[in-house]
Chains A and B, each alone.
Chain A
Amino acid sequence: MSEMETMPYANEEALVSRMMEAVQLAQGQAALEEKERLKEDPDTAPSGNLDDACWRIIRLGWRCGRVAAAGRRTVRIAGRVAVIAAVLVVMLSIAFATPGLAPLIRGALDKWNITTYKDHTQVQGRIDNGVDEEYLDKDGNLRIDHFTLVPGWLPKGFVLKETGLDESICWLIYHLPRQQAKNIFISMSNMSGSTTSFDTENADVSYMTIQDNEATVISKKENGVEYNTVVWFMDGLTAMVQVSNEGVSIADTIKIAENLHVVWED
């Protein structure tokens, strides 16, 4: 009689576990050998872009860990209070074409040039925007790479799909695995002297308060899919934080906005 033929059910797990342990050991040995072989082949090395992206993920993980540990929006780093989103949530719509209908925009006019067209609204940050100098590099550019966006809440099931950073924007993309029409895009852009346009044709607009700031919420439906965009204009910075998504409700979009942390690290 073999071991299997006499195997009581209670021991099934032990035997399979032991067999998989042998698989694990063999796979580990093979992996370590392959790792050494790959050192000899420079063509197999990851690109600089991949390395940059991965270092950003690690940095994001580290910052998220500290935000979670702090348990509050204001994070003290190196004895200094970090910048937290003091934001204006702006929903841009054709309503902006009519003067007086957009209090948020009106309040921000000293910092932003806003032009409303028939099918979109254009926002341009002024260069002389009174930016706090500690957030600028020696050339006067906003140090966007020192900011990290940390969502404190996301709808159930969403997982991080992508992080990115270039000279003027850092972003996160979350998605629902295996559901292509469900994405959440969160970004922070350096708007100094630059222009962003929003598709505001036939969009619904409402206003509210988020994180003690005046806010506007915009919603648009197209081909049965709901698109929502929330934009923060950060106090003291020529920077805009945006939460936009497809297939996620307004209520969830607002909740993401209310729980978003913008962390500064010098």
Chain B
Amino acid sequence: MLSFVLPMLATVEDRDFVTAIYGEFRTLMLATARRYVPDRGAAEDVVQDSLVKLIRHADLLQRMNRCTLASYIVSTVRNTAIDRLRGDAAERRYLLPLELEKLCLTPSPEESVEETAQKREDLERMRTVWPRLEEEQRLLLEGKYLLDQTDTELASRLGCKQDSVRMKLTRARRRVLELLREGGVPDE
């Protein structure tokens, strides 16, 4: 029962890990929060809420490589800020989606040229369709693929039934493909 109401760190390793990542990423977390929530005090609240969410997923975070971890932390802060803004109509003007146009991929030494090219093309494809997706579809895709959220968590965020999440996800994926077809993205 406790796990549903409290942020819990089950082991010393979990505690030390969360302590370390907060120490390392705290400035980035605050900078990310301030991009969405202009008021510094409110942004600090977002950082605290985000930390609670990170604690809940301490076990998952420890299995991530650094790049995925950094992405997860940024997505967590952004989504926490967005959830906060969604509850306040006056603040909705600050609601910004994940901005893919500014992202680019640096080749990794472990990857082949073909693998890097494939990833760049996949990024470019998503960059093309992302702004044309509905806000809920973007939240679903980011929650599902970047935050590894369960259907239950996604249902809670969207205020819908768990069964509806699968349908909404299917529609979001199909919408991505429809937009790609409409956009005439070239064959690989």
B155 at the interface (CB under 8 A from A): no
Chain B residue with Cβ nearest A150: B6
A78 at the interface (CB under 8 A from B): no
Interface set, chain A 34-50, CB cutoff 8 A to B: 34-35, 38-39, 44-47, 49-50
CB distance from A151 to the nearest CB of B (A): 6
Across chains A and B, the number of contacting residue pairs, with CB separation under 8 Å, is: 207
Q: How would you classify the secondary structure of chain A's contact residues: helix, strand, loop or mixed? A: helix
Interface residues of A (CB under 8 A from B): 1-5, 7, 12-13, 15-32, 34-35, 38-39, 44-47, 49-51, 53-55, 57-58, 60-62, 64-65, 67-69, 150-154, 158-163, 174, 177-178
B98 interface neighbour in A18, A27, A45, Cβ under 8 Å: A27
Q: Please give the number of chain B residues whose Cβ is less than 8 angstroms from any Cβ of chain A in the complex.
A: 72
Taken residue by residue from 47 to 84, chain B's Cβ proximity to chain A (1 for < 8 Å, 0 otherwise) reads as: 11101100100000000001111110111000000010
B71 interface neighbour in A1, A25, A161, A163, Cβ under 8 Å: A25
B48 interface neighbour in A13, A54, A178, Cβ under 8 Å: A54
Asked whether, in the complex, the Cβ of A2 is within 8 Å of the Cβ of B186, the reply is yes
State in angstroms the CA–CA spacing of A162 and B51 once bound together: 11
Contacts known (A5-B181, A150-B6, A158-B5); A35 close to B188, Cβ less than 8 A: no
CB distance from B67 to the nearest CB of A (A): 3
Contacts known (A28-B68, A35-B25, A65-B14); A23 close to B2, Cβ less than 8 A: no
Asked whether, in the complex, the Cβ of B100 is within 8 Å of the Cβ of A23, the reply is yes
CB distance from B98 to the nearest CB of A (A): 7
A53 interface neighbour in B25, B48, B102, B180, Cβ under 8 Å: B48
Contacts known (A69-B10, A174-B5); A61 close to B55, Cβ less than 8 A: yes
